[in-house]
Amino acid sequence: MRESFRDDELRSLWSTVLESHTADMFRINSKDSKDKVLPINYEEMDKVNTDFALNFLKYPEDHLVRLKEVLYGWEEGNSTHEGLLSDDFKTEKKNRVRISISSKLPDIKRDIRELRSEDLNTFLQVDGVVKRVSEVVPTVVSAAFQCGYCREVHLYPQSGSRILDPPRCNHCGKTKEETKFRFIAEKSLYYDTQLITIEEKPEFLKGAAQPAKLVVHLEEELCGKNNPGDRVSINGIFKGKQKVQSAQGASRQFDVFLEAMFIERESSEYEEVTLEDEDIAAIKRAARDPEIYSKLVGSVAPAVFGNEMVKEAIILQLFGGERKAFPDGTYIRGDAHVLLLGDPGVAKSQILTYVANIAPKAVYTSGKGSSAAGLTAAAVKDELSEGRWTLEAGTLVLADGGLAAVDELDKMNREDSGAMHQAMEQQTISISKAGINATLMSRCAVLAAANPKYGRFEEDEPFTSQTDLPITLLSRFDLIFMIVDRPGKMDDKMADYILKVHKSGETIASGRSVEKVQIFPTFERDFLKKYIVYARKNSFPIMSPKAEEKIKKFYVEKRATSVKQGSVTITPRQLEALIRLSEASARVRLSDRVEVDDVERATRLMEAFLNQATVINGIQDIDVIMSGYSSKDRKGAFSILEIIKQLQDTSTGRRASLREIREEAKKHGIEERQVDRELKILNDKGEVIEVVTGFYRALEK
């Protein structure tokens, strides 16, 4: 590579590059156009002269100076050279060309954590997720100063972080030592600036690695277009800024940042997964396999014994249904949410960790260490933007387009878990903090795990009485599975399986042949990622008439059962969940149609969920998930309330005793145990109050 070019050579090469930008120059010179951006592709420079292009990567600032001379004109010796910009453009002081240089070459792409001192002042490209966004603020580009001697006002170009007085007056020639200059803000020229912070994509992190971050400086039209959670590719100049001086003198250390010249938002959710022709062929072969579903189930946490139905549900969650957008701006989510509620030691966390690793895009978090702001978005004061409030993306925003794995959901405060409601159903997060009003996207599936309230499940007790999770949160999950650890017939098989897992681990640790390892996933992790990405990108199944009829029949029959039993067995929310799961099942086969088999697979999972989580006294009642109370409890509560009102006497202050309430309730067929439960419900709802122990009074509304 040629190390250096003369100034006249650089100007000549830039002139050659700009020969193909006649239309851009016409637009920039036009008085009617507000778009003053000059877009240049690095590949254009490479076509003109490869050494010139490579030299630009090492010394971009020097090259840009020569490019501006070609645009604005320059003086050389006694001669003046006119630039490509018109006189009218130059006369209008507010006019300013912003140069945008982009490239799609992988050679100049760098990982954020690999940036070092030798990269300073070079042109490069970085990819990442927008973590934090500051306000858009005006910055002085040309400061207006009035000379204290001649009183003339002139504009003086500014650079750096502070406004500096001009060295001398452009009119009378007096230096700043001979006169005073007064800054005039209203006559100065400004341009928009913004700071954003990007961090590494979560799928590239290994283990518990902290994602590396990089501050990016934006100008003019690049400002105000990025939100936390956006995935971006940025071309720019990597620079350093000396840290604030201390009393001991200037610091030797520098803060680094990227001065952006071009930003491209990723058009696909899975840009990081590369699909070769052989990968696509292998995926299509796998999709035609009649045993594909069982093989996929065998690829989810193979070290965990059993739980095939849970693993099947997770597979459908990873493939996902189709997000439907309508002309009026509304949409229906396609992502399915799954909750694993189980006894300690049933490998819930292990399943979540494994799924977070095989999902093409996933963010893992634990409820014990998460807050509402950490899950959604936080408003923080940023030192880099001089203490202004900025937005910082949380887990559900960073997982946009992928999967959010939330472990120990029951350890989260109610106020914090409540922040998930909007994210799970509307798949957006509204922020109104510190004067910032924004709506962020969180189009992700949620896979959560939690423990029962009392440590283990009691099979005789209702599901909702054994969890502290808010009903409003439970109702948003498409599927809920109770994983119960009970001694029984499977203990022998489980012991054998766990011993095999440990023996395989010992084989790997000893360095012996991997072929002797007994626990293998059916599909390798990388292949499974590619399979999911290909299916989500290329399969958009439509419901067949028979599949529609099958889903409709299932739903209508369940509703008819509700009428007979006096309870609500299923709601439209579960109907939508069935459609999502059926679409995901068809996507596994890369099919363009949802068939009856797909619906049967979805209804089997839905029946398992309903039988596990909604059965009260042998009757399915979805109200325990949707409202927190079964239909029987709700009706019983009304009856108990009426009994208390009849027994009490407000004029004399007589109150209803627990003995009297139980006797009257028995006449209505309400058992003593249910009476105690209904009294607790009424007390929690503020309908009745226990005045003294064993005596109740209905509250007046």
Q: Is there a contact between 249 and 289 (Cβ–Cβ < 8 Å)?
A: no
Element housing 581 (H / E): helix 572-588
Please state whether beta strands 403-407 and 362-366 pair in parallel, antiparallel, or not at all (unpaired).
Answer: parallel
pLDDT at 698 over 90: no
Q: pLDDT value at position 314?
A: 92
Q: What CATH superfamily classification does 277-534 receive?
A: P-loop containing nucleotide triphosphate hydrolases (3.40.50.300)
Tokens linked to 513: 């042949």
Given pLDDT bands bounded at 50, 70 and 90, which one contains residue 620?
Answer: confident
One-character DSSP codes across 652-679: TTB-EEHHHHHHHHHHTT--HHHHHHHH
Q: Which CATH superfamily is domain 7-102 in?
A: mini-chromosome maintenance (MCM) complex, chain A, domain 1 (3.30.1640.10)
Give the long-range contacts of residues 23-30, CB within 8 A, separation 24 or more: 25/84, 25/85, 28/85, 28/89, 28/97, 29/85, 29/86, 29/88, 29/89
Q: Band of the pLDDT at 436, cuts 50, 70, 90?
A: low
Q: Residue 352, exposed/middle/buried by CB under 10 A (0-12, 13-18, 19+)?
A: buried
Least confident of 301-310, 348-357, 488-497: 488-497
Residues in the chain: 701
- Residue 189, classed as helix, strand or coil, is strand
Q: Confidence band (pLDDT; 50, 70, 90) for 73?
A: confident
Say which amino acid occupies 212. A
- The whole-number pLDDT of residue 580 equals 92
Nearest-angstrom CA–CA distance, 445 and 432: 24
Lowest mean pLDDT among 128-137, 384-393, 608-617, 632-641: 384-393
- Indicate the range of 318-322, 337-341, 521-525 predicted with least confidence: 521-525
Query: pLDDT (tens digit, 9 = 90+) per residue, 189-227?
Result: 888 888 888 888 876 666 556 788 898 999 888 888 887
CATH of domain 631-698: 1.10.10.10
Q: List Cβ neighbours of 652 (8 Å cut-off, separation of 6 or more).
A: none
- Per-residue pLDDT band for 498 (boundaries 50, 70, 90) equals confident
Q: How confident is the model at residue 249 (pLDDT cuts 50, 70, 90)?
A: low
Domain ranges of the chain: 7-102, 112-265, 277-534, 538-626, 631-698
Give the whole-number percent of the chain exceeding pLDDT 90.
Answer: 10
Best CA proximity match to 620, nearest among 628, 629, 611:
611
Is residue 131 within 8 Å of 215, Cβ to Cβ?
Answer: no
3-state secondary structure of 315: helix
Does 373 or 550 have the greater pLDDT score? 550
Tell the CATH topology of 112-265: OB fold (Dihydrolipoamide Acetyltransferase, E2P) (2.40.50)
Mean pLDDT of 331-336: 86
**Rounded Cα distance, 477 and 307, in Å:** 19
| Interatomic CA distance for residues 79 and 8, integer angstroms | 14
Residue 537: partners with Cβ closer than 8 Å, 6 or more residues away: 268, 270
55 close to 36: Cβ distance less than 8 angstroms: no
List the structure tokens of 71. Answer: 């645009």
Residue pair 447/317 in contact by the 8 Å Cβ criterion: yes
User: What are phi and psi for residue 79, nearest 5 degrees?
Assistant: -105, 150
Cβ–Cβ under 8 Å, residues 206 and 356: no
Instruction: Report how far apart, in Å, the C-alpha atoms of 98 and of each of 20, 119, 262, 295 are.
Output: 18, 23, 11, 55
Select the more confidently predicted residue: 619 or 533.
533
What region, left, alpha or beta, does residue 447 occupy, with left being phi > 0 and alpha being psi -120 to 50 degrees?
Answer: beta
Residue 575: phi and psi, rounded to 5, are -65, -45
Could you report the per-residue pLDDT of 146-205, keeping only the tens digit for each? 888 888 888 888 877 778 888 888 888 888 888 888 888 888 888 888 888 888 887 666
Residue 415 pLDDT greater than 70, yes or no: no
Using 50, 70 and 90 to split pLDDT, how confident is the model at 605? very high
**CA gap 440, 129 in Å, rounded:** 13
Lowest-pLDDT choice from 28-37, 72-81, 231-240: 72-81
For residue 126, the model assigns a pLDDT of 92
Please, what is the average pLDDT of the chain?
81
Contact 36, 28 (CB under 8 A): yes
Between the alpha carbon of residue 386 and those of residues 140, 198, 280, the distances in Å are 16, 18, 50
pLDDT at 389 over 80: no
CA distance 188 to 641: 73
Q: What span, in angstroms and rounded, lies between the C-alpha atoms of 580 and 574?
A: 10
Give start and end residues of each alpha helix (H) in 289-438.
292-297, 308-319, 348-358, 372-375, 395-398, 414-417, 420-425
